[in-house]
Amino acid sequence: MKIYIGSDHAGVEVKEFTKELFKKRGYEVEDLGTHSTERVDYPDIAKEVATAVSKDLDSQGVLICGTGIGMSISANKIKGIRAAEVFDYYTASMARAHNDANILCFGARVVGLGVVESIVEAWCNTPFEGGRHAKRVEKITSLEK
């Protein structure tokens, strides 16, 4: 599984930590920036990661900003993307199991590193349940213009 990852300046340190968690699990990780604490605009990074995932629907994405809000709002503007902001193990596992989310978003100023570990564990270990949830995910797709 390939993971495209990105953050703004607020998430850049947590991005480094998160990259290692995915690499340890055997994922191929491509970092699309930002690479320093110089200020950048989160929609620019969200566009890069979401566009990469939309062109390779076997891949997944990770987007980190201060709150996770701006990244998730921005990424969901791209066709084929289901970006979910999560806060803990439960919300990360539900984003995969029920929503088939393909981009994981969280806030570097919201969750601690221990919680990031549990979020990544849940994201990696939880498959989409399909069944009744598949019809609902299809309805999400049908909302795309």
Please report, as ranges, the residues that interact with ligand RB5 according to CB under 6 A: 8, 10, 42, 65-67, 69-70
Residue nearest to ligand RB5 (CB): 70
Residue closer to ligand RB5 (CB basis): 42 or 123: 42
CB-based contacts of 129, cutoff 8 Å, min separation 6: 97, 98
Q: What is the DSSP-derived secondary structure letter of residue 21?
A: H
* 98 in active site: yes
- The one catalytic residue among 9, 35, 98, 105: 98
CB of 46 to ligand RB5, least distance (A): 10
Residue closer to ligand RB5 (CB basis): 8 or 100: 8
Q: How far apart are CA 127 and CA 110, in angstroms?
A: 25
The two three-digit tokens of residue 10, written as one number: 């607020």
Name 30's bridge partners: 4
CB of 126 to ligand RB5, least distance (A): 25
- The one catalytic residue among 9, 65, 105, 124: 65
CB of 69 to ligand RB5, least distance (A): 4
Residue closer to ligand RB5 (CB basis): 5 or 10: 10
Number of H helices, E strands in the chain: 6, 5
Q: How far apart are CA 136 and CA 94, in angstroms?
A: 14
CB of 60 to ligand RB5, least distance (A): 20
The two three-digit tokens of residue 98, written as one number: 């029920």
* 65 in active site: yes
Contact 31, 49 (CB under 8 A): no
Residues designated as active site: 65, 98
